[in-house]
Amino acid sequence: MGIDYGEVEPALVGADIYGWAIRVGAGETLDRAARLALGDTRNELRRSLHEFPEDARPYYQTLVELASAALWVATTVLATICNRITSMANNKPSRINAGVGVALGAGVGAALFAATSSPVWIAVGAAIGVALGAASEQIGKTKSEDDADN
């Protein structure tokens, strides 16, 4: 390990935050322990920023923003998607076609891009929208098949 700056080890903190962000970006839900660890790591890094050399601070500030965006997606967006899919499974009329899902996801991605200046979030948002639309259509097909069997 390298030199610690404040409460964090610089080489590990980036890998940890990127690891969680990639999982969230792939549509994986983080369990409570992972969300708490991500939040704690972000907060430790935020408190340690003043310990870093001045020319390194923008990179670590970007990591703080990435961690905040990943936490927001993990706790808000993915929870909303899961609730929406559960609602669809319970036969509530709330299907979303893939095109609308992509548009909604791209909008969320654009908001994350604005917050982090990282364009990857636009693609992540669109991917989440595609997953939402595909899940909605699959649930609709399964429900239609179940109704036809009865």
Mean pLDDT of 41-50: 95
Q: What is the pLDDT of residue 1?
A: 47
**Which residue, among 6, 70, 71, 11, has the nearest Cα to 44 in the 3D structure?**
6
The Cβ-side half-sphere exposure at 60, using a 13 Å CA radius, reads 26
Which segment of 7-11, 20-24, 134-138 scores lowest on mean pLDDT? 134-138
**77 DSSP assignment:** I
pLDDT value for 75: 80
Token pair 């179940």 is found at: 146
Q: Is 80 exceeded by the pLDDT of residue 34?
A: yes
Name the range with the highest mean pLDDT among 23-37, 54-68, 81-95, 135-149. Answer: 54-68
CA distance 82 to 78: 6
- Rg of the chain over all Cα atoms, to the nearest angstrom: 19
Q: Residue 145: is its pLDDT beyond 70?
A: no
Mean pLDDT, the chain, integer:
77
pLDDT tens string 58-117: 999 989 988 888 888 888 766 666 666 666 556 555 555 666 677 777 777 777 777 777
